[in-house]
Chains A and B, each alone.
Chain A
Amino acid sequence: MSKYKALIGLEMHCEISETNTKVFSSAENSYKDIPNSNIRPVDMAFPGTLPIVNKEAVKMALKASMILNCKQPEYMYFERKNYYYPDLPKGYQITQETKPAPVGIYGKLEYECKGEKKIAVINNLHLEEDAASTDHYSSYSTIDYNRAGVPLLELVTEPCFHSADEAVSFLETMRSIYQYAGISEADSRKGQIRCDVNVSIMDDSLDESDMNNWGTKIEIKNVNSFGGVRDAINYEIDRQTELKENGEYDKMEQQTRRWDEDSLSTIYMRSKVDAIDYKYFVEPNIPKYKISKEWLEQIRKDIPELASERKAKYIQKYGLSDYDATIIVKEKNVSDYYEEVIKLGGNPKKASNWLTSVILGHLNKYDIGINEIYLTPKMLFDIMNMVETGKISSKQSKDVLYKCLSDCKEPQVIVDELGLKQVGDEDTIRPLVIEILDAHLDLIEEYRKGRNVFDFFVGQVMKATRGQANPSLTAKIIKEEIDKR
């Protein structure tokens, strides 16, 4: 790649999952297992039905627009994008175009890629409705209209990324923003995020700020995971580089390809000449309406603390390492969980250790989210508290936590069931210590000469109590007893 550089642009579609209803319909906006159970007449385009704009969805879209430092429009308009497809019951999608202005236009966002700060240039952000979902079988297809009309945000960037790493880092930043701002779960496993990617390459020596130096834009449709985005970009860069090397690049026409997950390659769909003319025009059933300054002000005030701000707080206020803070803020649910433990009074550093060393490992192992585990922030706090107050040892606490996760029982119940308790009273430990010291008088001499045998004594007490003795109390008593002699 040294001879060439890639210019990569993204179109990121993200469903808004946090509104109660769909974007132009009063049907519930929630994922349902039973097909076609979440629909109103308008979602299936029965004759005479009309779209009603969901103000909450507009509000969330404007919020995203502000976070992306875009310009918000004075008036809200929607457009019709006309095309025929079985998943589009009306025969058009209600969306927004760049003229008149959509919810957001011309913004930029700072993001981090491999520890380096970069700027993504946003062309526009628009609010639209999702299509139905279809499944194709050998002799028939099924359509589920539950998804038809779910609010969708489409973010279009300029070709401002130069590598798959940059593109994916940006997408991860965006996912985090959508989650933190309460706009979307942004879960690609639920199909909430879908991307189109465009890639072109140019000679590295040329000036990329001059559009005339850009290569031929290849658009790749329907990439549905960040891993897919990475693979598709890398595949396409390699493919185009090879064409350059073979002198065939200039023959390549502007085209649309699709990412095929089975063959891990991009496949030709259509040439630019065959591009669909969507015949956009302003949606007449939705009167344009003015967005008041007061409303925008209110929305701006409601933007919550985002990942970057939380991360700074964790490092500066809680003393976490950059590494741990990054891990915790990556998923909003994890960060929320963490904040909850701290709100309950948990020690920030210890809570961070629990999360990064134990709980996240468990989540990864079973590929589940933090809200799907039995262990609540309160339970984690309780376990931490038991250690803190000497009720159980820190070794025991790990067993309790794993058991809590696997058996779905409260920590206290597990402690009781296992008969776990820390032997914390002096009257039990002291006689044991005396007995052990008596049996190892030679070692006491060694200790006085400066040899480190202290841990051996502690170990012996632990052995005698099957790990239930409070280590710090034990150490204190041993020291006292040795000093007495």
Chain B
Amino acid sequence: MEYMSKSIEELHELLKNGEVTSEELIKESLDKAHKNQDECNSFVTIMDDAKGTKVTDELLSGIPYGIKDNYSTKGILSTGSSNTLKDYVPFFTATAISNLESKGAVGVTKCAMDEFGMGGTGTTCHTGTVLNPWDKTRMTAGSSAGSAASVAAGVYPYATGSDTGDSIRKPAAYCGIVGYKPTYGMISRYGLFPFASSLDHCGCLTRSVKDAAIVVDGMKGIDKNDMTSWDSSNINLYKSITGEVKGKKLCYIKELCDINEYPNANDELKKHLSNFMDVLEKCKSIGIEVEEVSVDKKLLDALASVYVVISCAEATSNMSNLTGFIFGPRGEGKNYIEMMKDHRTKGFSPLIKRRFVIGSYVLQAQNKDRYFHNAQRVRRLLVDRWKELFKDYDAVILPVGSGPAKRLDGSKDILDENTKALEEHLQIGNFGGFPSITIPDGFINDLPVGLNITGNCYDDVNVLNIAHAIESTMPYKGQIAKEACHE
């Protein structure tokens, strides 16, 4: 009997009824983790000494899960998939992880990721590229690459992720699973290695909307160590999922979804968008109203630049603590400047260095207004436009990316100008701190694709409820990756 492909609700029932023990679940999960490591290279650490826990009324008790390696875990190597922290063993645990622990959840892996979350490919981990379990020649997207690959492969029902631009929601789509980041501040960021603090969100990757609700219920809560966290003790996401969506209103954006916007559309994009339109019909069939809206193309075209400017600027500053003096491997040199330069030169991948240069450039006194302040202004305009949409609609529904996972050989984080806004629109969820969830909505050439639902701040329940209802109209809930058959 295999258990790790089941949902959290199912596992909890089995544990409660004594049909399986926590120990047995941990063992199966660890076995699968090793197998997945061989196939997909998902992990920085597999915790072979993980122990089962007491099964309580908490849904997460006794059940194994994966932890993205940018969560600080006491006594367990936490690298952020960077050579600058390749030997770093923290002495404190991130609040989100200790919240899960307190409910009896058992961490069994530390998942590989794009270095410090700064990448969308899963190819910049210091332990090597993470492969997509549906097709090993394709990327998982990132940065929560190992988390997505392992949940999709059925190593456990869920893993934590973090999301600064789309780092949970894009790999979820490429791996055919659910990725959810709640409203900014619902989950404490204390102990999460920062990338861009004003955009960073904690969240999770699961195989169903309900599981995502259960996991975030377990992670969330106000935290005295994070001033941006807020009290959500009156919210129980899992119990709030009723499936009742009659009269809910969704909108999609013409400039992103209309195939006529893409004169050079390839086959994958065509299929992806037409599949999305089919799903919208399904939404209507269960009583959800769906309308097309228009957003200024100029604004949409600016969003990727806004993201680059703000995220790189904050990242440059956030990662200035990585000097190799207090933690991380000590650099060599005659004085502290040389030692620090050596540590950072050897430690960071070229992609990150490029982003530091950009971040530094846009913050320089002579450039700051033109780049950094303008980016903040446009961020405000985008958020205001979305807030306007939320006055009329419960949420915005959009396809994720321009198709299924990209090939590892061809593309390296390079964007096609035509589909740039389509690839990057999830970042608006980070600009506004909006609750945002990706669910699988079909297949193109045996590879999964996804759609995203984003609602207004603090409207997580509504977003999850709608996502759950739409998920129920399709056969992808709980799916485990199967190697795609190619021609």
Contact = CB atoms under 8 A, between A and B. Distances in A.
Interface of A: 41, 44-53, 80, 82, 84, 86, 89-92, 141, 277, 279, 281, 284-287
B336 interface: yes
A82 B320 contact: yes
Contact of B320 (A50, A51, A90, A281): A90
Interface string B133-157: 0000000000000000000000000
B363 to A, nearest CB: 4
Nearest to A286: B227
B227 A50 contact: yes
Given A47-B88, A279-B360, 13 more contacts: A44-B326, A46-B327, A47-B322, A48-B71, A48-B90, A48-B192, A82-B316, A82-B317, A82-B363, A277-B364, A279-B363, A281-B363, A284-B196
A48 B363 contact: no
A92 B321 CA distance: 8
Interface in B182-222: 189-194, 196-198
Contacts of B320: 82, 84, 90-92
Nearest to A42: B225
Contacts of A141: 336
Contacts of B78: 47
Interface string B40-77: 00000000000000000000000000000001100000
B290 interface: no
Nearest to A45: B321
B221 to A, nearest CB: 15
Nearest to A83: B320
Nearest to B364: A277
Contacts of B322: 47
B317 A45 contact: no
Interface in B320-354: 320-323, 325-327, 336-337, 340
A84 B94 CA distance: 26
Nearest to A47: B193
Interface in B369-385: 372
Nearest to B80: A47
B85 interface: yes
B314 interface: yes
A90 B227 CA distance: 18
B92 A46 contact: yes
Contacts of A80: 317
A285 B227 contact: yes
A141 B334 CA distance: 12
A286 B185 CA distance: 12
B228 interface: yes
A281 B313 contact: yes
A91 B321 CA distance: 5
B224 interface: yes
B226 interface: yes
B340 A84 contact: yes
Given A48-B190, A286-B227, A90 B363 contact: no
Nearest first, the 5 closest Cβ-Cβ pairs linking A and B are: A91-B320, A279-B363, A284-B198, A45-B321, A284-B197
A318 to B, nearest CB: 48
Contacts of A287: 227-228
B321 A47 contact: yes
A342 B474 CA distance: 85
B414 interface: no
Contacts of A48: 71-72, 90, 94, 189-194
Contacts of A49: 190-191, 225
Contact of B317 (A53, A86, A281): A281
B1 interface: no
B317 A279 contact: yes
B365 interface: yes
Contacts of B323: 84, 91
A386 B212 CA distance: 80
Contacts of B227: 50-53, 285-287
A96 to B, nearest CB: 16
Nearest to B188: A50
A91 B317 contact: yes
A90 B368 CA distance: 21
A89 B321 CA distance: 6
Nearest to A278: B365
Contacts of A92: 317, 320
Contacts of B313: 281
A48 B97 CA distance: 13
Contacts of B190: 48-50
A35 B224 CA distance: 27
B198 A90 contact: no
A90 B372 CA distance: 21
5 contacts: A46-B326, A48-B189, A49-B190, A82-B320, A281-B314
B359 to A, nearest CB: 9
Question: Which residue, B71, B198, B372, has most C-beta atoms of chain A within 10 A?
Answer: B198
A285 B197 contact: yes
A50 B360 contact: no
Nearest to A81: B317
B189 A50 contact: yes
Contact of B85 (A47, A50, A53): A47
Contacts of A46: 72, 90, 92, 321, 326-327
A400 B129 CA distance: 83
B327 to A, nearest CB: 7
A48 B190 CA distance: 6
A65 B120 CA distance: 47
Given A82-B317, A281-B372, A52 B72 contact: no
A279 B321 contact: no
Nearest to B79: A47
Contacts of A277: 364-365
A263 to B, nearest CB: 24
Contacts of B94: 48
Nearest to A141: B336
Interface in B82-108: 85, 88, 90-92, 94
A41 B90 CA distance: 10
Contacts of B198: 284
Contacts of B225: 49-50, 52
Nearest to A92: B317
Interface in B274-317: 313-314, 316-317
A280 to B, nearest CB: 8
Among A44, A50, A89, A141, the one with the most B-chain Cβ atoms within 10 Å of its Cβ is: A50
B162 to A, nearest CB: 11
A50 B94 CA distance: 11
A53 B198 CA distance: 17
A277 to B, nearest CB: 5
B402 to A, nearest CB: 30
Nearest to A82: B317
A91 B91 CA distance: 21
Contacts of B321: 45-47, 89-91
Nearest to B314: A284
B224 A52 contact: yes
A148 B372 CA distance: 29
**Could you say which of B91, B92, B372 has the most chain A C-beta atoms within 10 Å of its C-beta?**
B92
A44 B316 CA distance: 18
B326 A89 contact: yes
A196 B225 CA distance: 34
Contacts of B72: 46-48
B260 to A, nearest CB: 39
Given A90-B321, A285-B227, A287-B228, A45 B326 contact: yes
A92 B227 CA distance: 19
A53 B325 CA distance: 26
A86 B92 contact: no
Contacts of B192: 48
